Structure 1
């Protein structure tokens, strides 16, 4: 009898151990590397988003490493379309770049999700820092000895938006602002309301051009230039002083889209390996994001996009002064996993 009891106890212990073994997770988190090409102006909000996303995915059994590459938005797109590089996410400061250059050949959908506005940034070191305001900014820029900068219109949306803003200012104030600030000091020219940017931009030193708008921040902070056109979110993220421009100039308001569209700018782009000219109509600033067809980790990329478009992403972007559209817009074959976050545009 005692022997039988011992056998039963041993059997029960073995059974319990087997059950515990079944309940004890033995699988290691699945390691995934997510590659993101993005506009320089998204660097700060995406940094915060990426940290939270990695923690979120740990609870879903993933160990996610995120590799980011910031550049001008045109270059972010070109890395996929012309250089054949693989990315899981492409996020740009002008959603129409995705529409024009990636859809439908390189991406089967894209989302317009956030907005911004142009401001004129400066520091305490800037000449006339205590005198500049929203009414005289173009007069200050025109003063002798004042240097200002914007990013390369052929590479970065902030660049072509900055140049367009100065043509809009000329219309708004009815003064030769574009001529005084751009045509006198660069080889960028305008024929009426149509602006033409050469392949190689040259300046006389009063104007400084860099590939990314965020590259101008170091020049501002060192006193190498006095003023720079930037997005408002970037100015706030870097604690820069700035002048707010009228809505007719800052490209912020969707209700002014017809006013903005009076001006167009022709820039040089690489398309299918060839350097071509593209005309871009001025329009409200709207950011875009997509998952390229060559994404190596599409499942996790969709999780990332859903996380970004959710309330969690909205909070992170708001904290970093980047305003979301009330309802992001989805174009093309939008994945089921993000449909709840967007309004489908047909």
Structure 2
């Protein structure tokens, strides 16, 4: 694998070698598998996948757009890359192959211990947007420049404006009254009382046991019947790439052909832990694209 000169010199200066993009002791043999993953996958990987595989895992999680950029810029070199939007495997990454393995939906999670959270609950799935747009509720969301959840939140608000026929543009109004957090820390803000509600993935609310409102399928980015409607909204990333609305698709690729990596990858994309942790797995998943090595399809 190729590393930048700075990475090599930094690792050697610390008496280490680079393994999966991380500096580790030069006396340690490579018997583990590294995964750089979407923040929404973190809990499922740490507490689900880890128990289902026979080799040590090293999991690092960030927003998917940041994950893709870290690999594209050669700042990280993991064995497996797993993101919350397959579009990121078109740009900035361009792997020879990848596998779609799970879907999700957007929900509005709320804190029943706060006044603002109770307002969201009382408004229900038909009126949640009113309390978010009038300034009475503190909303948490993620940065659209760093992860798909952030730009999917904007997609949902755009679609909701038309779906509910609101007088104001929710995509413009709601973010002005929200707070932005890293994906891995978003729902934990309920525990500190920092936010009343959050737009998040269903699995993130389920795995932490938070109350949430389901959104109509016309706007929750989960239903293939509304693919054309979802595609009417878009967002331009700092790289200049434009991402369009669509059904949520988690995808992964492996960058090493060691048998241990192939074994972990297979469990990662087919394991029962995915549904246990709140993800949806369509009947035609996992779905492979392009030139998949035999080791990953046997």
TM-score (norm: length of structure 2): 0.83
| 1:144 matched to 2:135 | yes
In the TM superposition, 1:174-323 aligns within 5 A as 174-177=165-168, 179=169, 181-184=170-173, 203=176, 206-212=177-183, 214-268=184-238, 276-292=239-255, 295=256, 298-310=258-270, 313=271, 315-323=272-280
Deviations 1:52-96 (A, max 9, x none): 202xxxxxxxxx321110100011111211134211000111111
CA apart distance, 1:31: 5.5
8 Å CA contact 1:302–1:335 kept in 2: the answer is no
Contact 1:237–1:321 (Cα < 8 Å) also in 2: yes
Deviations along 1:9-54, one digit per CA (max 9) or x if unpaired, are: xxxxxxxxxxxxxxxxxxxxx8612111001111122121122202
Mark the structure with the bigger radius of gyration: 1
Structure 1 contact 37–89 (Cα < 8 Å) conserved: yes
Q: 2:288 corresponds to which residue?
A: 330
Using the TM superposition, give the Cα deviation of residue 209 of structure 1 relative to its aligned residue in structure 2, in angstroms: 1.0
The equivalent of 2:3 in structure 1 is none
Give the distance between the partners of 2:91 and 2:224, measured in 1 at CA.
Answer: 20
Work out whether residues 111 and 190 of structure 2, in 8 Å CA contact, stay in contact via their aligned partners in 1: yes
- The separation in 1 between residues aligned to 2:121 and 2:182, in whole angstroms, is 29
In structure 2, the CA distance between the partners of 1:182 and 1:82, relative to structure 1 (3 Å rule), is: same
SS at match of 1:248: coil
> Equivalent of 1:132, from 115, 119, 123?
123
Q: Which runs of 5+ in 1 are unaligned?
A: 1-29, 55-63, 187-202, 269-275, 341-346
The residue aligned with 1:114 is 102
* TM-score with structure 1 setting the length: 0.72
Q: Distance in 1 between matches of 2:178 and 2:120?
A: 18
- Are positions 1:167 and 2:138 aligned together? no
Listed as ranges, the gaps of 5+ residues in structure 2 are 1-28
Say yes or no: does 1:45 pair with 2:44. Answer: yes
Q: Distance in 1 between matches of 2:160 and 2:292?
A: 38
Distance, in Å, in 1 between the alignment partners of 2:269 and 2:231 is: 28
Structure 2 Cα separation of the partners of residues 82 and 239 of structure 1: 36
Which structure shows the bigger proportion of residues in strand conformation? Answer: 1
Q: 1:185 to 1:165 in 2, by over 3 A?
A: closer
Inter-partner Cα distance in structure 1 for 2:65 and 2:192: 27
Residues 266, 280 of structure 1: 8 Å contact kept: yes
Q: CA shift at 1:307, angstroms?
A: 2.3
- CA-atom RMSD, angstroms? 1.9
* Corresponding residue SS for 2:125: coil
- Asked if 1 retains the 8 angstrom alpha-carbon contact of 2:187 and 2:204, the reply is no
Task: Report the count of equivalent residues.
Answer: 265
- Stretches (4+) displaced over 3 A: none
